[in-house]
Structure 1
Amino acid sequence: MKKVIKLAVVFAAVVLSGNLHAQEKKVKLENSLLWEISGNGLTEPSYLYGTMHMMCEDDFLIKEKVEKAFENTDKLALELDFDDPSELMAMQSMTTSTIPLSERLSKEDYATLDNFLQTKLGVKASQFENYTLIGIMSVVMFKSLNCPPKMYEVEFMQQAMANKREILGLEKVEAQVTGFSESYTDEEFIDQLKYYDTSYFDEMVAVYKEENLNGLYEMVIDEKFMDADAKTIMLDNRNKNWVAIMPELMKVQPVFFAVGAGHLPGENGVINLLRNAGYSVKPVLK
């Protein structure tokens, strides 16, 4: 399980980087992280929960309404299947490389990264020669959090395993890595690292505790993280792929879907896409 938690930190690094700026139709949602999915032929409701992939243990809370919804479902669906050994291996491979970092990056990008790491962490880039940029981001994020972390995906997975429930993944690690490479140049990726500091996490946690999906979405689509093309790749397309899979899963048994909260709002968010597909998606307020 320790290995799963370590890899989940990498997963958090990948998903928290899925941010952007784009013009789109505003879809304002009620303040709730938990949503009931019903109608359109479903005999029992499924549930959709927006997670924050990593936060301090002291801030972590699973509310009673979430526990009840989880108990009323038969399967758990996460963005990635942490129960699949091949997916765990794929996540591990995301963080390391046999080609030294100094050879993979241009001299300019390497110098920029080296300066950042010395300023931020007090270490040189040479200490990360066998890391990928995603691996380095996971280290930066963990250091910025500056506390013992907890992750909703891991907590839900542990509960599902204890109750012998099937755990599913809505996509593969390979799809996330491909999306990342198509969205960022090395220079853009390195430039983003400076934004992941304690104040960023504190602000996000405060908005998350309010269950303010609209506020979270505004943070997620901030233009300093991603442009409109990257938004399409990192959020919109992935949301559409998930919503194409979800009906078949829900038709057989009720499912508890837990994905990053930033994927729920927006014109192409999971909630609006499910509604467009004919489902009733309502906030669970208590």
Structure 2
Amino acid sequence: MKIRFRIAGFVVLLLFLGNSLFAQSEKALLWKIVGKGLKEPSYLFGTYHLLNNTYLNEMPQVKQSLATTKGLVVEAVIDSSKLQSMAMMAIMPGKKISDMIAPEEARLVSAELEAWMGVNLAAVDQLKPSSVIVMLGLLYSQKLNAEILKKYPGKPMDVYLASTAKKDHKTVTALETIEQQLNFLYNHFPLEEQARQLAIFVKQKEISERSQVELLEIYMEHDLEKLYHYADSLPKDMGNSDFLLKDRNVNWMKTLPGLMAKESQFIAVGALHLPGPDGLIALLRKQGFTVTPVK
């Protein structure tokens, strides 16, 4: 049961990481959206799910922009009463990771779990391999970036924005449910493919560890174009990731224009959803909105 609730905690943290249409040199995490008949400006902000709200003190324009809008849009709203059911979605009854990978790969995975989590593979053997990848990736980011992250105490950025909006009696809209997000993470690939990806993830741990450090560094430079190109340059051995970024962006764009037409919105989603030819900035511009950086 401890492992199940640990999974839920990690999921909470996780869910809360061009072409000519995106050709810009401005470094900004916050973007203003106007045009196409909008009565008031809306804003698009790229978050980093492990950074706490005190980081926003370095960007006063974020709080100022939030204060001017009537609604907040986030990826999902966490319901603490569902933590146990969230954890249960990671379980695969009747199957074991150790039966789906080679013995040597199982030893490597077990050693990595021992080093980072203090448990061996047997303790998580019936978890979906994708959930183990999620846990290890978050641990890499938390521990390797600990010196930076501890400089910014408080609530996770997304949680803070939602609680502030509710306190100010703003409308809070979730683009997805937690169940939908967990389905993306845990059920997109067949279990055997997930197991293959877990083995690769551990074999390439140096790349995984380094990427967690470099992604945060680039985020703190506010350089979305660099962030996009760095993420795009990472090895593709883990399978196509369009379902996590591109496909969700396209789906969100079915909702966002209507929300902004109804009332001004502060849209806060993971920073990697913003840049690139399939990012929200480019998709908004394709629909006729004017999107400009806020410094």
1:187 counterpart = 2:183: no
Q: Which amino acid aligns with 2:113?
A: L
Question: Which of 253, 265, 268 pairs up with 1:255?
Answer: 265
By how many angstroms is 1:84 displaced?
8.7
Structure-2 separation of matches of 1:119 and 1:274: 44
Residue 20 of structure 1 corresponds to which residue in structure 2? none
Structure-1 separation of matches of 2:119 and 2:56: 34
Secondary structure of the corresponding residue to residue 38 of structure 2: coil
Question: What root-mean-square deviation, in Å, do the aligned CA atoms of Structure 1 and Structure 2 show?
Answer: 3.3
Structure-1 separation of matches of 2:99 and 2:109: 10
Structure-1 separation of matches of 2:286 and 2:80: 32
CA contact (8 A) 1:78 1:170 kept: yes
Residue 23 of structure 2 corresponds to which residue in structure 1? 28
CA contact (8 A) 2:75 2:176 kept: yes
Residue 274 of structure 2 corresponds to which residue in structure 1? 264
By how many angstroms is 1:210 displaced?
1.3
1:170 counterpart = 2:193: no
By how many angstroms is 1:169 displaced?
1.3
TM-score (norm 1): 0.79
Q: Which amino acid aligns with 2:172?
A: I
1:215 counterpart = 2:226: yes
Structure 1 residues 97, 8: closer, same or farther in 2, change over 3 A?
closer
Residue 21 of structure 1 corresponds to which residue in structure 2? none
Structure 1 residues 159, 232: closer, same or farther in 2, change over 3 A?
same
1:66 counterpart = 2:62: yes
1:277 counterpart = 2:273: no
Q: Which amino acid aligns with 1:173?
A: I
By how many angstroms is 1:221 displaced?
1.9
Q: Which amino acid aligns with 1:153?
A: D
Q: Which amino acid aligns with 2:10?
A: V
- Residues 23-62 of structure 1 mapped to structure 2, 5 A cutoff: 25=19, 27-29=22-24, 30-55=26-51, 60-62=55-57
Structure 1 residues 215, 115: closer, same or farther in 2, change over 3 A?
same
1:203 counterpart = 2:204: no
Percent pairwise identity: 26
CA contact (8 A) 1:38 1:280 kept: yes
| Structure 1: gaps (5+ residues) | 17-23
Secondary structure of the corresponding residue to residue 211 of structure 1: coil
By how many angstroms is 1:131 displaced?
3.7
Structure-2 separation of matches of 1:113 and 1:101: 17
| Structure 2: gaps (5+ residues) | none
Structure-2 separation of matches of 1:226 and 1:269: 22
Aligned residues: 270
TM-score (norm 2): 0.77
Structure 1 residues 168, 90: closer, same or farther in 2, change over 3 A?
farther
Structure-2 separation of matches of 1:8 and 1:33: 26
Structure-2 separation of matches of 1:44 and 1:168: 18
Structure-2 separation of matches of 1:216 and 1:226: 19
Structure-1 separation of matches of 2:92 and 2:183: 19
Residue 19 of structure 1 corresponds to which residue in structure 2? none
Question: Which of 252, 259, 274 pairs up with 1:242?
Answer: 252
By how many angstroms is 1:120 displaced?
4.2
Secondary structure of the corresponding residue to residue 61 of structure 1: helix
Structure 1 residues 206, 196: closer, same or farther in 2, change over 3 A?
same
By how many angstroms is 1:50 displaced?
0.4
Q: Which amino acid aligns with 2:11?
A: V
